[in-house]
Homo-oligomer: A and B are copies of this chain.
Amino acid sequence: MNPLTPDLQHWLDLAGIAVFAISGALLAVRKNFDVFGMAVLAFATGLGGGLFRDLVIGAVPPAAFTDMGYFLTPLVVTVLVIFLHPQVERINRAVLVFDAAGLGFFCVVGTIKAHEYGLGTVAAASLGLATAAGGGVLRDVLANEVPALLRWDREIYAVPAIVGASSVALLLRYDALNNVTMTVSVLVPFVLRLLALRYNWRAPRAWHRRSAATEDGAGAA
């Protein structure tokens, strides 16, 4: 059971889409794209993860195309970033906090929706992770950048989402999802991501790379 009221879930959805859309629009500014490029990246980042999930579970047309709020949110974000991007950049730290909240929220609701469509525990958790991280990967692929999700020199992003999605999937399996356990499932990835940002937690790479020269050179390849 999804313990969120439809109304509350909808507003949290829009908030999550908004913070992801900001990161897309800001990357477009940094890449010197025009305002339509900004809108495309805002839409892709805000809605891409949920779109992928909905195509996989067969929920067509996907929510991104049936809810007016989902359409307007990236649009409003784009307009705001067009005029206020220096200010938005300056509060980049705050944006990262909101993005961490979006990460926690989306990995949980993505898992719940996949479970509602009949997917098993592992598949639902995988789609929760894809919902949370897919938009950012699409953003980077469209902007012709190496996805931040894959890069070694970025703070961990997948781990908090995996923790959140897996715990919700297990709670669903053992029928233990309620307001309390779900809130905890959102907060744990949120806090993990904030700690990762604060203390520069990075995931390890493959074991025993033999020479430092190779390491430094590989990034440029």
Q: Give chain A's interface residues, CB within 8 Å of chain B.
A: 28-38, 40-41, 51, 55-58, 60-62, 65-66, 68, 71, 81-83, 85-86, 117-120, 122-123, 126-127, 137, 141-147, 149-152, 156, 158-159, 202-208, 210, 215, 218-219, 221
**A57 partner, pick from B61, B137, B146, B152, beta carbons under 8 A:** B61
18 interchain pairs (CB within 8 A)? A30-B221, A33-B152, A36-B158, A37-B151, A38-B206, A40-B149, A40-B150, A40-B158, A55-B60, A56-B60, A57-B60, A61-B123, A65-B123, A71-B122, A137-B142, A141-B144, A143-B150, A144-B145
A204 contacts B35, C-beta separation under 8 Å: yes
Give Cα distance in the complex from A218 to B30, angstroms: 6
Which of B68, B205, B215, B221 is close to A35, meaning CB atoms less than 8 Å apart?
A: B205
Decide if A35 touches B123 in the complex (CB within 8 Å).
no
CA distance A123 to B207 in the complex (A): 43
A83 x B33 contact (CB < 8 A): no
Contact present for A150 and B28 (CB under 8 Å): yes
Instruction: List residues of chain B with CB within 8 A of the CB of A202.
Output: 34
A114 to chain B, nearest CB (A): 8
Find chain B residues with CB under 8 A from A204 CB.
34-35
Q: In the complex, are the beta carbons of B142 and A150 less than 8 A apart?
A: yes
Are A86 and B31 closer than 8 Å at their CB atoms? no
Chain B residues near A28 (CB, 8 Å)? Answer: 150, 206
**Top-4 shortest CB links A-B:** A37-B150, A58-B60, A34-B203, A32-B218
Contact B215 A32 (CB under 8 A): yes
Residues of B within 8 A of A150 (CB): 28, 31, 33-34, 36-37, 40-41, 142-143
